[in-house]
Amino acid sequence: MPEQILKMTGVSKSFPGVKALKDVHFDLFAGEVHALMGENGAGKSTLMKVLTGIYQRDEGEIACFGEPVHFKNTREAQDKGICIIHQELNMMNHLTVAQNMFIGREKSKGLFLDDRAINDEAVKILAKLGIAINPKEIMGHLTVGKQQMVEIAKAISLNSRLLVLDEPTAALTDVEIEHLFKVMRDLKEEGVGMIYISHRMDEIARITDRVTVLRDGEYVGTLVTKDSTHDQIVRMMVGRTIFEEPKQKSTCPPDAPVILEVENLNAGRMVQNVSFQLKKGEILCFAGLMGAGRTEVARALFGADPKTSGTIRVKGQTVHINGPQDAVNAGIGYLSEDRKRYGVALGLSVADNSVLANLDAYSGKVFVRGGEINKVASQYVDKLNTRTPSIRQLVRNLSGGNQQKVVIAKWLIRNSDILIFDEPTRGIDVGAKSEIYKLIHELVDEGKSIIVISSELPEVLRLADRVLVMCEGRITGEVEAGASQETIMSFAHQRQEQPAV
């Protein structure tokens, strides 16, 4: 039997008003990839923060490499050979790759830092992992995928024997995911144990050896991956069976009026002559590969990025959108793919975030009307089934799925007729996804019109009345509900022929 390098027994952790973990068990062997799964808010991240010393446990025992441990901070965990790679990468973008890898452990030559020494050391580690990155490259110039690889290389440079990877593929391309998995398999061969947190079932099946599921902060069970099924894991996660069948035909009436028209929209290289219509009560999905220009279209439409040309009509009237406020005034709401950066104010409460897009309606001559804000926020917490101890809870303390619901509440309170959902379920578990899908259908039943941008084809097929496919800044195809993944992917690879010079 391989060495057991981690054993967590009876771990509990509470925060004011919340029992985050209750009697949780988890173990890991050398050379194993062990998935940790559960709905948003199930306690996965809290358990890993307890392990790595970010949080202090209230109860329970932890043994690493055969010895009892109680880390007071992440440095103590690192010194023991444990490293966590967070979903939100913590890089210093103005420094080089090598400087990021050796931050706090710089080599010196006399009174000066020895950049040549850390560059040489970085080259060896990157080469060992098969990562083709120049250690002198500025970190901010790299793709998210390459930044992820640098984080892994940094962990290896710390001689880590236990790696925690939290949603490592959330923003990676398919090619970058394959490279990540190759690196992980090489690390397995060297005896490195890895805890893998992900909501992507296909990845769990491909890369993990065992799966442990948490629900509502409690241990549910552990399965051998190759002996378990997708449905088993989902039932353990959510405590119920979830059916997400593809939509076979459009539910939007053929004679529904057009509510949004976009003609020949241009905005830099990634938005070229984009034209489309959106009907009342329709779910229009934009599909395509990462970098196809889908988000750029949404940002230009919402006024977040300047457009160079094009016409936008809402309910038949031409609107001039030069900034987000113009779009909001025209009845357009935008739920960004980066909700933590553009969707919510993490340091404000659920109630305050809920009215951000409509604050004028709750402002008096001197003070905001707090009672009215609390009342409407409570209504939408109930309507969207947002899990929060109270409406005064800071949004940063909510799970990803519940943060997304707060963003949705903001635009519903504004009563926007057109909603753009950009990657609405990124980093959200299967149970919360199902709730978001249900909500989207309820919104169109109420007469809202919705644009969904998604990189997950099953999600597109589950939601879309109609699909527009983009490649390299252009719309290359349009398909109706019931289309196959193969058809959509063929359009997604259909590059525009360049004119001869």
3-state class (DSSP) for residue 206: helix
d(Cα 335, Cα 344) in Å, to the nearest integer? 10
| Alpha helices, H only, 284-427 | 294-302, 324-329, 350-354, 370-384, 400-414
Per-10-residue mean pLDDT of the chain, 501 residues long, equals 93 86 96 90 89 95 95 92 80 89 81 85 86 89 80 83 87 78 91 91 92 93 94 79 76 95 94 96 91 91 95 96 94 85 88 89 78 92 87 88 86 90 79 83 93 89 95 94 87 62 36
d(Cα 404, Cα 187) in Å, to the nearest integer? 35
3-state class (DSSP) for residue 258: strand
Give the list of residues 6+ apart from residue 131 with CB closer than 8 angstroms, or none: 146, 149, 150, 153, 179, 183
Tokens found for residue 82? 């444990």
At residue 338, the pLDDT reads 77
3-state class (DSSP) for residue 491: helix
Rounded to 5°, the CA angle 218-72-68 comes to 70
d(Cα 179, Cα 349) in Å, to the nearest integer? 40
Determine contact, residues 134/97, Cβ cutoff 8 Å.
yes
CA 425 to chain centroid: 7
d(Cα 491, Cα 288) in Å, to the nearest integer? 8
Question: At residue 81, what is the residue type?
Answer: G
At residue 458, the pLDDT reads 83
Query: Domains along the chain?
Result: 1-81+161-243 (3.40.50.300), 90-159 (no CATH), 254-331+416-501 (3.40.50.300), 341-414 (no CATH)
H or E segment and range at residue 59: strand 59-64
d(Cα 318, Cα 262) in Å, to the nearest integer? 10
Residue whose tokens read 């959330």? 170
At residue 499, the pLDDT reads 41
- The values of phi and psi at residue 396, to 5°, are -60, -20
| DSSP strand pairing (193-197 vs 33-37) | parallel
| Alpha helices, H only, 395-448 | 400-414, 430-445
Global confidence as pTM: 0.62
Tokens found for residue 241? 């069976």
At residue 498, the pLDDT reads 43
